[in-house]
Chain A
Amino acid sequence: MERMNTLGVKTRPLIVSEIRKDFPIFNQHDGKKLFFLDSAASSQKPVQVLQAMDHYYSTTHANVHRGVYHIAEHATELYEGARATIGRFVGAPNPSRETIFTKNATESINLLSNSLTRGTLKKGDVVVLTEMEHHANLVPWLMAKEQFGIEIRYIMVDENGYLDLQNIDELLQNAKILSVSLTSNVLGTINPIRRLADLAHEHGAIAIGDGAQYVPHLSTNVTDLGLDFLAFTGHKMLGPTGIGVLWGKSELLESLPPFMGGGDMITDVRLDGFTPNELPWKFEAGTPPIAEAIGLAAAVDYLENLGMDAIRDHELELLSYAFESLESNFGKDLVIHGPRNVNDRGGVISFDFKNIHPHDISQVLDQSGVCVRAGHHCAKPLMRHLGIAATARASFHIYNDRSDVDALVDALAKARAFFG
Chain B
Amino acid sequence: MPGLEDLYREIILDHYKNPRNEGIFPTPPALKAEGHNPLCGDELTVYLLLEGDVIKDIRITGQGCSISRSSASLMSVAVKGKTLQEVDRLLKIFKSMMSISTNSSGEAEVVDPVEYSERELGELIALQGVVKFPVRIKCATLSWNTLVQALEDRAS
In the bound complex, how far is the Cα of B42 from the Cα of A375, in angstroms?
10
Q: Give the shortest distance, in Å, between B136 (CB) and chain A (any CB).
A: 7
Instruction: Find chain A residues with CB under 8 A from B58 CB.
Output: none
Stretch of B2-10, B45-53, B74-82, B111-119 lying at the A interface:
B2-10
Whether A186 sits at the interface, judged by CB under 8 Å, is no
Whether B91 sits at the interface, judged by CB under 8 Å, is no
Is B40's CB under 8 angstroms from A367's CB? no
17 contacts between A and B (CB under 8 A): A357-B65, A357-B66, A358-B40, A359-B66, A359-B136, A360-B8, A360-B65, A360-B66, A363-B4, A363-B133, A363-B136, A375-B39, A389-B40, A389-B41, A389-B43, A390-B41, A418-B4
Is A359's CB under 8 angstroms from B67's CB? yes
In the bound complex, how far is the Cα of B78 from the Cα of A281, in angstroms?
62
Whether A383 sits at the interface, judged by CB under 8 Å, is yes
Closest B residue, CB atoms, query A32: B1
Instruction: Find chain B residues with CB under 8 A from A376 CB.
Output: 40-41
| Given A359-B136, A419-B13: A389 and B4 interface contact (C-beta under 8 Å) | no
Q: Give the shortest distance, in Å, between A187 (CB) and chain B (any CB).
A: 17
Q: Give the shortest distance, in Å, between B17 (CB) and chain A (any CB).
A: 8
In the bound complex, how far is the Cα of B7 from the Cα of A359, in angstroms?
12
Contact mask for chain A residues 23-60; partner B; CB cutoff 8 A; 1 contact, 0 none = 00000000000000000000000000000000000000
In the bound complex, how far is the Cα of B67 from the Cα of A374, in angstroms?
15
Q: Give the shortest distance, in Å, between A408 (CB) and chain B (any CB).
A: 17
Whether B64 sits at the interface, judged by CB under 8 Å, is yes
Closest B residue, CB atoms, query A367: B4
Instruction: Find chain A residues with CB under 8 A from B7 CB.
Output: 363
Whether B18 sits at the interface, judged by CB under 8 Å, is no
In the bound complex, how far is the Cα of B43 from the Cα of A363, in angstroms?
19
Q: Which of B24-48 contact A (CB under 8 A)?
A: 39-43
In the bound complex, how far is the Cα of B8 from the Cα of A357, in angstroms?
13
Is B13's CB under 8 angstroms from A359's CB? no
Whether B139 sits at the interface, judged by CB under 8 Å, is yes
| Given A390-B41, A419-B66: A359 and B4 interface contact (C-beta under 8 Å) | no
User: Given A359-B66, A383-B41, 6 more contacts at CB 8 Å?
Assistant: A359-B40, A359-B136, A376-B41, A389-B40, A418-B8, A419-B66
Chain B interface size, as a band, is 20 to 34
- Total residue contacts A-B, CB cutoff 8 A: 43
Whether B63 sits at the interface, judged by CB under 8 Å, is yes
The 8 closest A-B pairs by CB, nearest first: A389-B41, A357-B65, A359-B65, A390-B41, A360-B66, A360-B65, A376-B41, A367-B4
- SS class of chain B's interface: helix, strand, loop or mixed? mixed
Q: Which of A226-241 contact B (CB under 8 A)?
A: none
In the bound complex, how far is the Cα of B13 from the Cα of A367, in angstroms?
18
- A: residues with CB less than 8 A from B are 357-360, 363-364, 367, 374-376, 383, 389-390, 418-419
Is B42's CB under 8 angstroms from A389's CB? yes
In the bound complex, how far is the Cα of B58 from the Cα of A110, in angstroms?
46
Q: Give the shortest distance, in Å, between B4 (CB) and chain A (any CB).
A: 5
In the bound complex, how far is the Cα of B39 from the Cα of A140, in angstroms?
20
Closest B residue, CB atoms, query A415: B4
Q: Give the shortest distance, in Å, between A387 (CB) and chain B (any CB).
A: 11
Q: Give the shortest distance, in Å, between B75 (CB) and chain A (any CB).
A: 18
In the bound complex, how far is the Cα of B7 from the Cα of A170, in angstroms?
53
Which one of A359, A383, A418, A419 contacts B139 once the chains associate, using CB atoms below 8 Å?
A: A359
Q: Which of B92-129 contact A (CB under 8 A)?
A: none
Instruction: Find chain B residues with CB under 8 A from A367 CB.
Output: 1, 3-4
Q: Give the shortest distance, in Å, between A420 (CB) and chain B (any CB).
A: 9
Instruction: Find chain A residues with CB under 8 A from B64 CB.
Output: 357, 389
Is B4's CB under 8 angstroms from A375's CB? no
Is B8's CB under 8 angstroms from A374's CB? no
Is A375's CB under 8 angstroms from B41's CB? yes
Instruction: Find chain B residues with CB under 8 A from A383 CB.
Output: 41
Instruction: Find chain B residues with CB under 8 A from A363 CB.
Output: 4, 7, 133, 136
Q: Give the shortest distance, in Å, between B36 (CB) and chain A (any CB).
A: 9
Q: Give the shortest distance, in Å, between A398 (CB) and chain B (any CB).
A: 27
| Given A363-B4, A363-B7: A375 and B66 interface contact (C-beta under 8 Å) | no
Q: Give the shortest distance, in Å, between A375 (CB) and chain B (any CB).
A: 6
In the bound complex, how far is the Cα of B1 from the Cα of A367, in angstroms?
8
Is B40's CB under 8 angstroms from A374's CB? yes
Closest A residue, CB atoms, query B42: A389
In the bound complex, how far is the Cα of B8 from the Cα of A363, in angstroms?
10
Q: Give the shortest distance, in Å, between A301 (CB) and chain B (any CB).
A: 36
Instruction: Find chain B residues with CB under 8 A from A389 CB.
Output: 40-43, 63-64
